Amino acid sequence: MKSLLLLAPLSLTLPTTALFILLPLYAYPNTSASDWNNATAAIAAYPKVQWQVIVNPDSGPGTTGYPTDQNYITAIAQLNSYANVQTLGYVDTDNTHRAYSAVVSDINVYASWANYPNTQYNISMAGIFFDDVNNTKSTAVSTYMHNASAYAYATVPSDVTPVVFNPGALAPTTLFSYCDTMVEFENFSSSYQNATTIATIPSAYRGQSAILVHDTTGTTNVKSLVHTMAQDGIEAVYFTSDCCYNALNGTLLMQLAAAVQAG
Ligand SMILES: *[C@@H]1O[C@H](CO)[C@@H](O)[C@H](O)[C@H]1NC(C)=O
Ligand SMILES: *[C@@H]1O[C@H](CO)[C@@H](O)[C@H](O)[C@H]1NC(C)=O
Ligand SMILES: *[C@@H]1O[C@H](CO)[C@@H](O)[C@H](O)[C@H]1NC(C)=O
Ligand SMILES: *[C@@H]1O[C@H](CO)[C@@H](O)[C@H](O)[C@H]1NC(C)=O
Ligand SMILES: *[C@@H]1O[C@H](CO)[C@@H](O)[C@H](O)[C@H]1NC(C)=O
Ligand SMILES: *[C@@H]1O[C@H](CO)[C@@H](O)[C@H](O)[C@H]1NC(C)=O
Ligand SMILES: *[C@@H]1O[C@H](CO)[C@@H](O)[C@H](O)[C@H]1NC(C)=O
Ligand SMILES: *[C@@H]1O[C@H](CO)[C@@H](O)[C@H](O)[C@H]1NC(C)=O
């Protein structure tokens, strides 16, 4: 949501976007991005599926300048080479307990990556993912998050600048005005109840809502669960077999991409 003036009409004027995959890519890429291969294989195998990929070198950009680790540079540039990928920089807000100046500093670092001098590697970030968003309905939270997202929209040099908030649970609807996507559910697979969980998300906001399901098992019916999300107008999804987004399970990623493409 780049402009406040557009906030109210946006959901009415834009065509409904198809479900996309919001991938928290917290695993270390390793040499030649070898440890991200399971993700890029699914990205390449399903070019019609859109992905927003959260890049997180060190619970944030990790440095005050460009990444110092060539493995990250190679791997991020590889992600940016896919037309169906938008890369998002990870910024922690620690439930508003993090100093706002530290949030600004992280956004500045990600924004600067667009100027990486070795143009052989495009490490630009398209947008920002704010983690640990406080979902208390309060003026202090609202001001902090409005401020942070406005700074991201103004600073990241991208035509699109997707901004995602992750409270991991239902957020006050007022906060939706400040982001493109809100993670309304982030929890164990055993806590995810399909249509029952979706019904907890106010219907007018489902097209701006993401669902992240962790600790899936081999019996998790990804195809059926994703189908219900698509039917019910959810915007974005991710399933992972581990707790904390360090595993890139190639089998599950292919299942997920196939399910999202099928709708
Ligand atoms: C990098 O990959 C090598 C070869 O597969 C593996 O032995 C090593 O543990 C990996 N390192 C990290 C940090 O994942
Ligand atoms: C770098 O990648 C981003 C994201 O994919 C893209 O929007 C941008 O146009 C690319 N920049 C260049 C110089 O190719
Ligand atoms: C969320 O913000 C409120 C103040 O607006 C604060 O009292 C509360 O501690 C914060 N929540 C968490 C989980 O830190
Ligand atoms: C809002 O942003 C301004 C400018 O970036 C900053 O000076 C101010 O401290 C921020 N306020 C809050 C509540 O985060
Ligand atoms: C995860 O689900 C459990 C059980 O349904 C619930 O108690 C807990 O509050 C949920 N966690 C979050 C972050 O919503
Ligand atoms: C990977 O995902 C598949 C499909 O959900 C599952 O059967 C398998 O157990 C997972 N592997 C690991 C190591 O979690
Ligand atoms: C999810 O809910 C839908 C709609 O109620 C139902 O058709 C489908 O079978 C359910 N899928 C699973 C895996 O429970
Ligand atoms: C890739 O996925 C397969 C399962 O399909 C898994 O066994 C393997 O460990 C994964 N590799 C990496 C580097 O995550």
Q: What is the dihedral of CA 228, 26, 65, 144, to 10 degrees?
A: 50
Q: Does residue 29 have a pLDDT over 50?
A: yes
Mean pLDDT rounded to a whole number for the chain = 94
Phi, psi dihedrals of residue 68, rounded to the nearest 5°? -90, -10
**Tens digits of per-residue pLDDT, 65-117?**
999 999 999 999 999 999 999 999 999 999 999 999 999 999 999 999 999 99
Between the CA of 100 and the centroid of ligand 4 the distance, in Å, is: 7
**Tens digits of per-residue pLDDT, 114-169?**
999 999 999 999 999 999 999 999 999 999 999 999 999 999 998 899 999 999 99
Between the CA of 124 and the centroid of ligand 2 the distance, in Å, is: 6
Q: How many CB atoms lie within 10 A of CB 8?
A: 10
Between the CA of 147 and the centroid of ligand 3 the distance, in Å, is: 17
The Cα-based distances of 42 to 45, 197, 200 in angstroms read 5, 27, 30
Domain 20-262 listed as CATH 3.20.20.70: yes
* Residue located nearest, by CA, to atom 11 of ligand 5: 187
Of 42, 60, 40, 22, nearest to 183 by C-alpha is 22
Q: Is any atom of ligand 1 closer than 6 Å to the C-beta of 190?
A: no
Choosing from 188, 191, 214, 243 the residue with most ligand 5 atoms within 8 A of its CB, the one to mutate for a pocket test is 191
Of 214, 155, 147, 222, nearest to 179 by C-alpha is 147
